[in-house]
Amino acid sequence: MPKRRNLCGLAGGLLALCLPGSCQQPTETASQATTTAGAGQWIGSGEQRLWTQTYRSAKLSAHPTLLVVVHGDAAFNPPDYQYTLARQVAEANPSVVAVGLLRPGYTDPAGRQSAGQRGEAAGDNYTPAVIDAIAGALVMLKARYHAGRVVVAGHSGGAAITADLLGRHPGLADAAVLASCPCNVATWRVHMKRRVGGPVWDLPVESVSPEQVVARIPSTTRVTLLVGTADSIAPKALTQEYYRRLRQRGIPAKVLELPGLGHEIFLSKAVQQEIALLLH
């Protein structure tokens, strides 16, 4: 799609949706509780082959909690902050296998690239194929580490994908943390067109918007949403709207507004604390 990429060089380059700032054989197993943390491994094959970086608590139970961390749209830099958050959570909490996942089509700073379509960082790659590839990775990781619970934490575009996963694959995750979520994709794209301009925001997309699948989320799923009150990328109204939809469905959701903070809250103490509350 060369024409589309040229458009995004003009408009999508202005986007700051995420500023940081069968399986291949595993390199480690859950029973090796003393092996070095931060082991990288490929999960899945073909168009669903995704890169992951795995960190584990010093001691693991027979059925640890699996945490999967999903980065945002990363318009400007190759993302690696998902690895940082996974490491921080594993270091701070017992019996956790924390996995930083590189979204389909993305390349990290070390040059590793997950299979699939990256999109143009314009809300265009929250597609069924992307959601299903990440869901497939969760299934494999859960089996690999004999996880008792599954928690997914997503930031920005990764939060939208996480919310989509909750509805498209009901019951796969027990809980989720959604930070800085553009949880109504159409509304968010209108907002971004007004904010940065450019024709990219008018192009048709095949993304699943979280409100389209919220009715399929099991009522036992715990969801925590966090948003900065000064977030100009994914304004707090989008988070509050999705929170109300969750509560209307009887889902035990809660929302935290972080005073004065903007879009980049994923590595904040507040996010880590809320993840910790959902791990057990």
**pLDDT tens readout for residues 252-261:** 999 999 999 9
pLDDT of residue 38: 77
CA distance 154 to 114: 17
pLDDT of residue 113: 97
Structural domain containing residue 142: 2-16+38-278
Residue 26 within a domain: no
pTM: 0.88
Cβ pair 79, 48 in contact under 8 A: no
pLDDT of residue 42: 97
Residue 194 within a domain: yes
Cβ pair 31, 224 in contact under 8 A: no
Residue 24 within a domain: no
Residues of the chain with pLDDT under 70: 1-37
Residue 25 within a domain: no
- Exposure string for 212-223, b = 16+ CB within 10 A, e = fewer: ebbeebeeebbb
Token pair for 224: 């925590």
The pLDDT tens digits for 168-195 are: 999 999 999 999 999 999 999 999 999 9
**Got the DSSP string for 182-251?**
--SHHHHHHHHHHHH--GGGGS---PPPHHHHGGGS-TT-EEEEEEETT-SSS-HHHHHHHHHHHHHTT-
**In the chain, how many domains are there?**
1
Measured CA distances, 134 to 48, 54, 83, 172, 228 (Å) = 8, 15, 16, 11, 26
Sign of CA dihedral 173, 179, 185, 187: positive
Residue 244 within a domain: yes
pLDDT of residue 75: 87
Cβ pair 230, 265 in contact under 8 A: no
Residue 30 within a domain: no
Which CATH number fits the domain that encloses residue 222?
3.40.50.1820
pLDDT of residue 238: 98
Residue 92 within a domain: yes
Residue 23 within a domain: no
